[in-house]
Amino acid sequence: MSHFTLLVGSTLGSAEDLADELAEILNNRGHHTVIHTSPQLDHILIKPEHYLLLISSTHGAGDLPDNIHPLYLQLTQQRPNLAGLQYLAVGLGDSAYDTFCHAIQTLDDQFIQLGATRVAELLTIDVSLQDPPEVIAEKWLDHWLSQR
């Protein structure tokens, strides 16, 4: 059993819905989850055996959602050492835009610069496709869980 802290960046609620779905999947597989919809730096300074799961949509011209932007500012201004932090990242967006999933890529870059380790391939989900985001994310999560 592992502990997962889910940090959500959402403007219209789709990333929050996806976080709820992924938390339910993890809980059903015996893991413990906590979801933060107003993520702060304190939420990521967790024990090394915990996993962080970033889930963010992109809005505007590739912008971070308002609720996760303060965390990004804390990361860029305080520059904490995130060595030992293991995380996964999921982005939601529409591939019709040049800034497809730019928010999660921005967060991912910042986490890597601060020494965190992404333990699975970055998942970017095109919400304009037929498969619902939760189906795509569940397959991705199941694959990662079976590999660790």
Q: For residue 147, tell me if it sits in a domain.
A: no
**Residue 137 within a domain:** no
User: What pLDDT is stored for residue 43 in this prediction?
Assistant: 80
pLDDT at position 65 over 90:
yes
Phi and psi based region of residue 111 (left: phi greater than 0; alpha: psi -120 to 50; beta: remaining): alpha
Task: Please indicate, yes or no, if residue 79 is contained in any of the structural domains.
Answer: yes
pLDDT digits (tens, 9 = 90+) for 113-147: 999 999 999 999 999 887 899 999 999 999 999 98
* Spatial distance between the Cα atoms of 136 and 37, rounded to a whole number of angstroms: 22
CA neighbor of 20 nearest in space, from 50, 53, 49: 53
User: What digits encode the pLDDT tens for the residues 95-108?
Assistant: 888 899 999 999 99
Q: Which residues contact 15 (CB under 8 A, 6 or more apart)?
A: 8, 9, 55, 56, 57, 65, 92
- 136 falls within a domain: no
Give a yes or no: residue 148 inside a domain: no
Position 48 confidence tier, pLDDT thresholds 50, 70, 90: low
Task: Confirm whether 32 is domain-assigned.
Answer: yes
Q: How far apart are CA 110 and CA 43, in angstroms?
A: 16
Q: Mapping DSSP to helix (H, G, I), strand (E, B) and coil, where does residue 7 land?
A: strand
Q: Domain for residue 138, yes or no?
A: no
pLDDT at 111 over 80: yes
pTM of model > 0.85:
yes
Residue 24 has pLDDT above 90, yes or no: yes
CATH number for position 55: 3.40.50.360
Query: Number of folded domains in the chain?
Result: 1
Domain containing 36: what range?
3-131
